[in-house]
Amino acid sequence: MIEHLKTDILILGSGGAGLFAALHAKKAAPELDVTIAVKGLLGKCGCTRMVQGGYNVALGKGDSVERHFMDTIEGGKWLPNQDLAWKLCKTAVERVRELENEVGCFFDRNPDGSIHGKAFAGQTFDRTVHKGDLTGIEIINRLMEQVLSRDVNKLEDHRAIGLIPNATGDALAGVLMIDMRTGNFRFVQAKAVLMATGGGPTMYRYHTPSGDKSMDGLAMALRTGLPLRDMEMVQFHPTGLLAGADTRMTGTVLEEGLRGAGGHLLGGDGERFMFNYDERGERATRDIVSRGIYAEMRKGNTTPNGGVYIKMSHLGPADVRKRFNGMVRRCADCGFDLAGGLVEVVPTAHYFMGGVVIDTEARTALPGLFAAGEDAGGVHGANRLGGNGVANSTVYGGIAGDEMAAFVKSEGRFHDPDKGVIGFEIERALKPFSIKPGDVNVLREKLMDVMWEDVGVMRTEETLTRGLRRIDEVEQELMTVGVPAGNKAFNLTWHDWLNLQSLIEISRVIAQAALARRNSRGAHYREDFPDPGAMETSTFTVARQKDGVLTVKEEPVAFTIVKPGQSLLDDETVKTPNALSAVEVNPR
Amino acid sequence: MVGANNKPEETDQPEVMIEVSVWRGDAEAGGFRTYHVPSRQSQTVLDIVTYIQRNLDPELTYRFACRVGMCGSCGMTVNGKPRWTCRTHASQVISNGKLTIEPLRNMTKVKDLAVDMTPFFDKWVEAKGAFVPTKTRHDEIEAIKPDSKERRAADAAVECINCGVCYSACDVVAWKPDYLGPAAINRSWTLVNDPRDGAQAERLKVLASDAGCSNCHSHQSCATYCPNLLNPTRSIAGVKRRVMVAALKGEV
């Protein structure tokens, strides 16, 4: 039995994008019925909350939207959609003021009371607005309160499993969900839907994102036939905690500031190795340090759990404890002495630059469907600057809210769902109950190994081809491994199965897009094609699935605002980006 | 390619097992079930719960999200005390090889270890925990000195992640379900100290109401159990002082 619900605007996800969309939609059109659906509890899922660094915005004297934009384009290795990147940088100014003046966030101040901007790697101006090193908590707490105090419907513990078009396939009718608490299906019919579930590359053995994330949004978009861009672009953070198997601590991020402050990375032999790879040593950029660590791991120069060590003690344990209080406490809670001892670390999948193709109004190719945040692609290109992630989700979430309200008022209407697609999605979701129960987690670990080994930090045609074959094998095995047909209510093992299916579907797209890109740009590194290729003829990948067949095409980047070799800044004002050594840590 | 062992050194000894009693049930009924989970060097209480769900009892329900003490989803009662399970190393809480895990108290049970936090957040809103703006996105951000007395008071309390641990630990909430509770009043206190907010009088009225700050008897459980080392009791004491001053002026 399927329960039916109707709402004018349905928002999937309650991170920065989802919550901002709700506030903006409600402000633009208070008479509309707005509903937020979230896989867990409102404001507690997703990754905006986990933002440590801060929010890039051109507020400071001497900074400009142009400068922020140029940093974003250079950081993205000329692959970003320039119109999206421009709108990000321009709107961020208003969005941060909105966060402070209307939402109630309080960001760190300079002694004179003005907003403090900290230095962050890869940028030419100290423009990262922050709240200590817990910026995300401040932003999400304040947004959550605003949403909770408004007339917005909540569907908590609701998991979206399928985007349901109308019978002719030219508009979105709504979203099929599972009410996780009861285990029942629920079709939510809506005039406009925002997909803001957050990407999050959790299909890698080591990953930082929130554990609820499993690429459900992108998998739904893929099954709906929507174009996905930059899917090969997975950002690895060099220092994820390595605590071994069977613990959710493994993969969680240890902040970049540790390296910036002078932390050393040691191989299993106890020696520093980063200077063999880059003259900046541990202070090289994230991608270079990740590859350096990975190379040592491949050589077998590893710690007991197969990673490397980070060492801070030479900076003075008391000082480290003071400067990195939060990190030291977290490590201590988990049994590690970051200030005085050695902690095992490993590169860890951190952020997903790829996503659904959107325009500057957050519209997708399917009328009625909008996407924002990590579900949407094109803003960051080949690499995301630290501090541009939360800017992206809040800027485009707000834009999506405005646009959905306008869309619903001008042309929005309820469409009848394609019953065939609903039937297909229900059958897909119930599949695990019809096969012999088995160990879903073993398969999840298998996928994580495949992605880490073959589609990870360093790739070749050989590894990617093998990876694609192994992903197929995991998928075939999943079709033989079921879940006990007992109580469907809040059955996490059922949801683990569904999570894994989403991850498999998107893993295949990552591998195929990585195979298509025969050069090395930003986060994507091909050992067999190490050159970045000519910037002037840059292309980005677009993946699409039709009738079960996945194709990846390359499309030329349209340099609509600035061409490679040019800058929006006067020659004399062009600066070198901050190296990690200049990064200010924990200014509190 | 990469080894990922998290087991004790290879020995001839049998694996060390932990005897874990987990509350299973729903809002109507339930009881404890016992599981045996192998001990690991790196192992949190959340890992133990996860092990049970993945290997011993696929229908066990619990909540978690961020894994690092930022989202406040994984609060449970461990050996009788409320805590974040993602940041509690098993060795901190296992006693005589045993562990008891229950859902958070003072919240409605949904299933097994997952609770309904709706009343907790309703009170957050009721305590006027949402900022009321006096400016818009088109105005400049207000210059506020970080060392002002108000700002220091707000900063000391603002890093709450609404995990519900203090609410679950509070005796008064247990006796008087209408009481706003430590987390909501703590948030309110940060706004009482925020000169940008435009609803100070209304907020103090709620805080002075029957559901408000006067219920707190300073048992300090909130401060004792707050995993973020905040002190809601101190915030509530601050609120009490403001309410008193407002009362003398006839404002509440």
Sign of CA dihedral A149, A9, A184, A494: negative
CATH number at residue B22: 3.10.20.30
Q: Please report which confidence band the pLDDT of residue B2 belongs to, taking 50, 70 and 90 as the band edges.
A: very low
Q: Are strands B81-84 and B75-78 parallel, antiparallel or unpaired?
A: antiparallel
* Judgement on whether residues B83 and B184 belong to the same structural domain of the protein: no
Residue B251 to chain A, least CA–CA distance (Å): 24
Q: Nearest residue of A to residue B57 by CA position?
A: A493
Domain match, B109 and B155 both: no
Whether residue A136 contacts residue A149, with contact meaning beta carbons closer than 8 Å, is answered with no
Residue A409 has pLDDT above 60, yes or no: yes
CB spacing of B88 vs A333 below 8 angstroms = yes
Note the pLDDT tens digit of each residue in B31-44: 999 999 999 999 99
Across A119-133, b (16+ Cβ under 10 Å) vs e yields bbbbbbbbbbbbbbb
On whether both B205 and B126 belong to a single domain, the answer is yes
ipTM for the complex shown: 0.95
Assess whether B184 and B103 both reside in one domain: no
Query: Do residues B22 and B96 share a domain?
Result: yes
Neighbours of A335 (CB within 10 A): 17
Is residue A414 a contact partner of residue A188, using CB atoms and an 8 Å limit? no
Which residues in chain A (407-426) have CB-CB distances under 8 A to chain B? none
Please indicate, yes or no, if residue B9 is contained in any of the structural domains: no
Whether B112 and B64 map to the same domain: the answer is: yes
**pLDDT > 60? residue A140:** yes
Interchain pair B194, A104: CB under 8 A: yes
Answer yes or no: is B231 within a domain: yes
Q: What are the tens digits of pLDDT across the range A522-577?
A: 999 999 999 999 999 999 999 999 999 999 999 999 999 999 999 999 866 677 78
B47 and B92: one domain? yes
Do the bridges between strand A172-179 and strand A184-195 make them parallel or antiparallel, or are there none, so unpaired? Answer: antiparallel
Same domain, B164 and B201: yes
How far, in Å, CA of A203 to CA of A457, rounded? 13
Mean pLDDT, range A232-242, rounded to an integer = 97
| Pair A244, B6: CB distance under 8 Å | yes
How far, in Å, CA of A539 to CA of A58, rounded? 29
Q: Does residue B59 belong to any structural domain of this protein?
A: yes
Using CB atoms within 10 A of its CB, is residue B164 exposed (0-12), middle (13-18) or buried (19+)?
A: buried
Give the contacts of B20 (CB within 8 A, at least 6 positions apart).
Answer: B34, B35, B36, B37, B48, B52, B98, B99, B100, B101
**Domain A238-350 CATH class label:** alpha beta
A493–B58 C-beta distance less than 8 A:
yes
Which strand (E) or helix (H) includes residue A394?
helix A389-410
CA atoms lying within 13 Å on the CB side of residue A547: 0
> A510, A487, A523, A484: which is closest to A294 by C-alpha?
A523
- Say yes or no to pLDDT of A584 above 50: no
Specify the higher pLDDT residue, A226 or A335: A226
pLDDT of residue A581: 57
Q: Is the domain covering A421-535 a CATH 1.10.150.120 domain?
A: no
> What secondary structure letter does DSSP report for B15?
P
Domain co-membership, B42 together with B112: yes
Out of B89, B111, B161, the one facing A333 most closely (by C-beta) is B89
Among A567, A542, A518, A499, which residue's Cα sits nearest to residue A72?
Answer: A567
**CATH code at B177?**
1.10.1060.10
Asked if residue B75 is part of any domain, the answer here is yes
First-to-last C-alpha distance (Å) of chain A: 55
The 10s digit of each residue's pLDDT in A87-119 is 999 999 999 999 999 999 999 999 999 999 998
Closest to A496 (Cα-Cα) out of A453, A442, A555, A423: A442
Residues in chain B closer than 8 A to A110 (CB atoms): 146
Global pTM reads 0.96
- Is there a single domain that holds both residue B149 and residue B216? yes
My answer on whether B101 and B169 are in the same domain is no
Q: Kindly state the percentage of chain A with pLDDT values over 70.
A: 98
What is the C-alpha to C-alpha distance for residues B116 and A421, in angstroms, rounded to an integer?
Answer: 32
Quick check: is A264 catalytic? no
Going by C-beta distance under 8 Å and a sequence separation of 6 or more, which residues neighbour residue A269? A301
Question: For the residues A11-18, what does the mean pLDDT come to?
Answer: 98
Which residues, other chains included, contact A496 with Cβ-Cβ below 8 Å and sequence gap of 6+?
A440, A441, A444, B54
Min Cα separation B64/chain A (Å): 7
Shared domain check, B123 and B87:
no
Residue B99 placed within a domain: yes
Domain contains B7: no
Which of B141, B145, B226 has the most A C-beta neighbours within 10 Å, making it the best mutation to test the interface with A? B141
Residue B32 lies in a domain: yes
Report domain extents, chain A: 238-350, 421-535
What is the DSSP code string of A49-71? Answer: GG--S-EE---STT--HHHHHHH
Q: Domain of B212?
A: 118-136+145-248
Pairwise CB contact (< 8 Å): A247 & B110? no
Q: Is B54 on the interface with A (CB under 8 A)?
A: yes
| B199 belongs to a structural domain | yes
Interface residue B30 vs chain A (CB under 8 A): no
What are the structure tokens assigned to A104, written together?
């109630």
Total domains in the fold of chain B: 2
Q: Can you read off the two tokens belonging to residue A324?
A: 């990195």
